[in-house]
C-alpha cells in the first residue's frame, strides 16, 4: 500500500512519532547500545514495545541491528547515517519543548520535565531512573 503524506512534517512524524522512539533515539545518540541496556534505561517499557519500536526504526532505516552469534544472544543497535541526520532536528524539538515547559511552569501550570538535554546534545548519561 502506497504511503501518502500530505506535507513533509507528516513524514517526519511517522518516523519519530512512536511513544518510545524519541527516548530510544536519545540513548542511541550515545553510540551503539544493547537491547538489555536500553531496557534498563527504560524501566517501564515492555519487551514487546521495545522490539516493536526498534523494528520500526530499523525498517525506516534510522537504526541498524547487529546480531552477535553468541549464547546468550547479543544484539546491538546503532544509528545509521540517515538516523544521524535526525539529530539536529531532535535537538531543536527538544529545545522548543523544554522552553515551553519552563514557560508553563513559570505560569503556574502542572507540568514537569524529567530529563533535560544539555549543550545542544540530545543525549544524556544513561542514568537509570523510572519515568
Partner DNA sequence: CACAATTGTTTCCTTTTGGGCACTATAGCA
Partner DNA sequence: TGCTATAGTGCCCAAAAGGAAACAATTGTG
DSSP track, 6-73:
SSHHHHHHHHH-SSSHHHHHHHHTTS-EEHHHHHHHSTT--HHHHHHHHHHHHHTTSEEEEEE--SS-
User: Nearer to DNA by C-beta: 24 or 86?
Assistant: 24
Binders of its own copies among residues 103 to 122 (CB under 8 A) are 103, 109-117, 122
Residue 95 interacts with its own copies (CB under 8 A): yes or no: yes
Q: How far is CA 35 from its chain centroid? A: 13
CB of 78 to its own copies, least distance (A): 19
Residue 6 interacts with its own copies (CB under 8 A): yes or no: yes
- How long is the chain? 131
Chain contacts with its own copies (rule: CB under 8 A): 1-13, 15-17, 22-23, 26, 82, 85-86, 88-90, 92-101, 103, 109-117, 122, 131
Amino acid at each position: 500500500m502506497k504511503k501518502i503524506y500530505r506535507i513533509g512534517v507528516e513524514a517526519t512524524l511517522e518516523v519519530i512519532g512512536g511513544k518510545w522512539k524519541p527516548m530510544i533515539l536519545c540513548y542511541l545518540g550515545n553510540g551503539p547500545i544493547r537491547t538489555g541496556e536500553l531496557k534498563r534505561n527504560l524501566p517501564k517499557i515492555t519487551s514487546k514495545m521495545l522490539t516493536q519500536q526498534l523494528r520500526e526504526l530499523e525498517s525506516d532505516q534510522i537504526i541498524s541491528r547487529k546480531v552477535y552469534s553468541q549464547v546468550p544472544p547479543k544484539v546491538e543497535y546503532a544509528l545509521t547515517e540517515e538516523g544521524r541526520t535526525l539529530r539536529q532536528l531532535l535537538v531543536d524539538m527538544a529545545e522548543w519543548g523544554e522552553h515551553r515547559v519552563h514557560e508553563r511552569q513559570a505560569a503556574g501550570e502542572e507540568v514537569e520535565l524529567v530529563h533535560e538535554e544539555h549543550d545542544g546534545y540530545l543525549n544524556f548519561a544513561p542514568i537509570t531512573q523510572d519515568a
